[in-house]
A and B are shown apart, each in its own frame.
Chain A
């Protein structure tokens, strides 16, 4: 056995050296920054988190195109797109606050878990100050929560669930896209004109937050005008084959089928419903009809012939005739050779709105951005006069009601505009029961 002797001198020496060693790293650590990922160099990084694989891959690819276009315009490239028509002229084509805009991309696979991991890596590794994109309310809510915790701004892409700015609203998150409640309010009068007040509806619903809230909103709006809801059936996201869900519709006594599906799911379920001959049938002495509450050109292209005459709603359509839309469609078309989808539009607009808010606030600090966006009224971005409501960070603007064209001239005119529902008709109180139960909390600058 060895004996160890501790001398006082030895102990002091070791203590001093050890203490200095432990304290050493602190001289390297930088001063505390005011907020997460404060841009220090001559560039600022934005994170584009879009689905490149999975049920919403088409939307994701189109979003990415628009986001790249937005970066080009912010940095003074191309023809400037909507920057010319935007009511605020704080952006001058020299990036944001003189910093050149750079971006990183990631594939969120339309899975909450993956979306959070990719967003996390953009924040921690690439130093992104803002995350945008996404084509599902599930991922939007997951990433919005993450951005709130991390202290960066989340500008939601395509997310239509009431919950995004309802029970899951967050101070650091903003949504430009419309929501299921607005769809229902805009669609109900049109459905009444088309199909009358005595109808029995059968719902097939994508089984996640967006599907649930859309089903709830549409059922409430149609029941208010006298329709009856016979059954609500949930289908898994990305099911591919819906025939087993469609067969029971035939004998359910319903005469309307509401498809609360989006993207690839909607293309499949609608095509299969039409193949089953639902639209040629009679039920309760009336023609059987199909309604797709949330619509897009991309889906119309996928569904082809099946889409003819089917009504639905959109956030925006490239055939609108205002100056903002025309400028955006022109620069998008020149770059990529076809018109943009509504997913592309909302992501493009969100990026411009973020950049503009930073420019107006003169600061990248998330709390300054939140303050600049809350209650902000703007125009010239394709939807007419729009308000970013401070109570829930939801945009209020016109809703486009559309239906599948009977004789489309080409694959870009598959959808025709029925009417543009004015903002007042789709506005609701911030504490509406369908949106209750959430709180914005306080803006979090991180760090």
Chain B
């Protein structure tokens, strides 16, 4: 269906199913319960899940297929955000022109940066992209303050022109899609559970599904095959008379546009663009997401993005008070001991927890979370019948005999 093989169609449907029901799946614990701390189903975080999912899907087209490790992708994220906010300030609060401009601007920057950086490969390419990203960051942070508003970040004000919308009255206008406000949320109360369905989330989710579909098509296309060839042996490819540069540049621009889309969506959900978004730590984060989930796999980067954003937003908010509540059933001494032991791993220590998880994944599951899922899958499947040749024949014969 849709030009996909059966296996990919199934994957696509699974992703669509999970994304559309995310508000329910991510809120498994009743609102008032002690475990509600671990619920992730509130609009802001769900939006981040899918937006950074898009970012990581795009990064994976470059890194997963061609093997070129870009350390500067956050620059395109930031450019996307700034473009979108400027569109909100000058033209209209409708998200469509803002997102279009952010994709185009990020694409243009990617073309220029890619054209220069792709003359080198390996570590030199990574360093070049890192340099460009840091340059953009510093420009946004201080030199271009009139355009970017420096450290405070670019924000909407009441006095912005907004040509299409006209003058706003009362408070600041909100981003919308032809009248449907992005922040509109319907809350469903079912027994003790509460589920938030927000317009902004479903808008982002729809775009992520489109982005995911495109990435599947790219992975399965002759173009994707060329990119894989670049990864496996670029020299041999060049010796056969193929010029690989246009392919890598195209991949770079496409992944830059994905990042621009993600940046534009971030701004559409919350109309503020800060320079922090372009810092090298943000570039490193998308590399972590892709590797953690499984580089070169279709679904991996999305899983990695969700994983990291979950830690950042949920673990960083657990404090000692909450720990004391959890261990309240223990005798005092033991309770304090447990809190002291766990303390370094929560709150501001979430980086430490994430670091340990990352190490464990890289050491024991080099293929990322996807490999973990595959291994568990294999545990529960009838291994012999799904194996090939001799083993499956034997299994069939045995089944017949029984």
Contact = CB atoms under 8 A, between A and B. Distances in A.
Interface of A: 25, 28-30, 41, 52-53, 68, 103-107, 111-114, 116-118, 120-121, 124-125, 137-138, 141-142, 145-146, 148-149, 163, 168, 207-209, 234, 236-237, 439, 441-442, 444
B35 to A, nearest CB: 13
A356 B257 CA distance: 51
B272 A112 contact: yes
A30 B187 contact: yes
Interface stretch (B11-19, B97-105, B168-176, B375-383): B168-176
B171 A148 contact: yes
Contacts of A168: 152, 155
A117 B274 contact: no
Contacts of B186: 25, 29
Contact of B270 (A30, A104, A116, A209): A116
B178 interface: no
B151 A105 contact: no
Contacts of B39: 125
Nearest to B48: A117
A439 B172 CA distance: 11
Given A28-B190, A105-B317, A106-B316, A138 B141 contact: no
B9 to A, nearest CB: 21
B190 A117 contact: no
Contacts of B170: 441-442
B277 interface: yes
B239 interface: no
A207 B272 contact: no
Contacts of B189: 28-30
Contact of A111 (B43, B44, B276): B276
A316 to B, nearest CB: 25
Contact of A29 (B45, B48, B188, B276): B188
Interface string B156-200: 001000000000001110100000000100111110000010000
Given A29-B188, A107-B316, A121-B317, A209 B171 contact: no
B150 interface: yes
Interface centre among A30, A125, A207, A208 (most CB of B within 10 A): A125
Given A30-B189, A53-B348, A208 B171 contact: no
B372 interface: no
A125 B274 contact: no
A234 B171 contact: no
Nearest to B27: A125
A207 B348 contact: no
A141 B348 CA distance: 23
Interface in B297-315: 313
B141 A112 contact: no
B42 A207 contact: no
Nearest to A136: B151
Given A124-B42, A441-B170, A106 B153 contact: no
Contacts of A236: 138, 141-142
What interface size band does chain B fall in? 35 or more
B174 A52 contact: no
A121 B151 contact: no
B155 A52 contact: no
Interface centre among B42, B43, B158, B316 (most CB of A within 10 A): B316
B344 to A, nearest CB: 12
Interface of B: 32, 39, 42-45, 48, 138, 141-142, 150-153, 155, 158, 170-172, 174, 183, 186-190, 196, 270, 272, 274, 276-277, 313, 316-317, 319, 321, 347-348
Contact of A209 (B150, B313, B317): B150
A52 B348 contact: yes
A145 B319 CA distance: 26
A36 to B, nearest CB: 11
A142 B155 contact: yes
A118 B151 CA distance: 18
12 contacts: A30-B187, A52-B348, A103-B321, A113-B274, A121-B45, A138-B152, A142-B274, A145-B155, A149-B174, A209-B150, A236-B142, A442-B170
A116 B319 contact: no
B68 to A, nearest CB: 27
Contacts of B319: 104-105
B313 to A, nearest CB: 6
A52 B270 contact: no
Given A112-B272, A114-B276, A117-B44, A149 B142 contact: no
Given A113-B274, A117-B44, A124-B43, A138 B188 contact: no
A113 B316 contact: no
Contacts of B190: 28
B152 A209 contact: yes
Given A29-B186, A106-B317, A138-B151, 10 more contacts: A29-B188, A53-B348, A121-B313, A121-B317, A142-B152, A142-B274, A149-B171, A209-B150, A209-B152, A442-B171
Contacts of A208: 150-152
Contacts of B43: 124
B172 A149 contact: yes
Task: Give the 4 A-B CB pairs with smallest separation, nearest first.
Answer: A208-B151, A52-B348, A124-B42, A125-B42
Contacts of A103: 321
Given A52-B348, A107-B348, A207-B150, A118 B317 contact: yes
Contacts of B150: 207-209
Contacts of A25: 186, 188
A124 B44 contact: yes
Contacts of A41: 32
Interface centre among B138, B150, B196 (most CB of A within 10 A): B150
A266 B103 CA distance: 40
Contact of A120 (B44, B274, B276): B44
